[in-house]
Structure 1
């Protein structure tokens, strides 16, 4: 029986996470804390003995550098990895670069929380979680599902909302329940993917 795993990791803390700014498609790098979170993720995955066949990440440097650090910790630098804009963070539109507290003062807590966490409501000029899912899921189904069926162990390093869209799909979470789902920086979500029809979270 295949012991294939699907592992999802949100990038480590970025410079803009540290400054409490909406980031989206902007491209700040990791902080030292973020790099350490990536190292810790790599150490955890190494301890669990997971050997990856392929890795996927976004076009943004914070995710790419998190992936590089994890693979270095795993001594798996040589595995194939693919970068694609489909895995980018959601586009925050006019919120990008704004301090989250300032945004709450301007628009109110409830409105900002709805933009950040609801499924259907996009921020001005940006993407909703549904919009994000509409690019993440076709990419996942076309490029990653076939690898899961082959029994490959797969590492995806991406972003809070691109991963929320993916977790929503994998775990069959309803749109009204997605508001409460938070994905922490640098903490792996590990699934047993031996059965494509029953991908089960184990960590």
Structure 2
């Protein structure tokens, strides 16, 4: 199969910049995030990629990133599907707090456990395991059929919802996925075998570093 699936985490958001747990809250992109999305669109265009269908979450930082990418690529209009199944992990009571505030309230060890464990959710929120329980079935039912049919597909979503999907695609263990971080607006390009296994994976990444992936 020569067609591609591309996963893109949204560009830097206003709350990413402030190091705030974001989750399902809905801030938009910063100026840096806008530039990152433009870069992603241009590098995908340079790869010769055009997309038949696109998927994104119900949150505007992912939607805005996708709009910019598709605009940079140009060409024929791409069908866009928005679904809450691709939303960021819900951080519950951590949402709206920066890491220092969260540590003061619950302690550093507990906050680290919520951020970096696979199956321990913060109060009122989701674990990465919970996120995977909605993202992976959505992929199999709604995204994979388009890839299997030979279409180029792009998914613009969030650090944790994409990590949950990458865990399935790359057959990673819970321990392995916890060490996987995604740079903002850095496309992950996949090509598959007819059976649905990953035949090739490339990350198109800028030279700058990654952030902490809090939404």
Q: Shorter chain as normaliser: what TM range?
A: over 0.9
**Contact 1:68–1:77 under 8 Å retained in 2:** no
Between the aligned partners of 1:167 and 1:136, the Cα distance in structure 2 is: 10
Runs of 4+, deviation exceeding 3 Å: none
RMSD of aligned Cα (Å) = 1.3
Between the aligned partners of 1:71 and 1:127, the Cα distance in structure 2 is: 31
Counterpart in the other structure of 2:179 = 180
Gap change, CA 1:196 and 1:110, over 3 Å in 2: farther
Counterpart in the other structure of 2:134 = 135
**Contact 2:148–2:196 under 8 Å retained in 1:** no
Counterpart in the other structure of 2:197 = 198
SS in 2 for 1:184: coil
Between the aligned partners of 2:28 and 2:135, the Cα distance in structure 1 is: 22
The alignment status of 1:106 with 2:102, answered yes or no, reads: no
Moved more, 114-123 or 27-36: 114-123
Structure 1 gap segments, 5+ residues each: none
The alignment status of 1:86 with 2:85, answered yes or no, reads: yes
**Contact 1:4–1:153 under 8 Å retained in 2:** yes
Q: Deviation string for 1:122-159 (max 9, x for gaps)?
A: 01110000110111111111001111110111100000
Counterpart in the other structure of 2:160 = 161
Displacement, 1:119? 1.1
User: How is 1:27-176 mapped onto 2 (pairs within 5 angstroms)?
Assistant: 27-76=26-75, 78-176=77-175
SS in 2 for 1:181: coil
Displacement, 1:76? 4.1
Displacement, 1:100? 1.4
**Contact 1:56–1:83 under 8 Å retained in 2:** yes
Q: Deviation string for 1:135-190 (max 9, x for gaps)?
A: 11111110011111101111000001000100000001101222211111111111
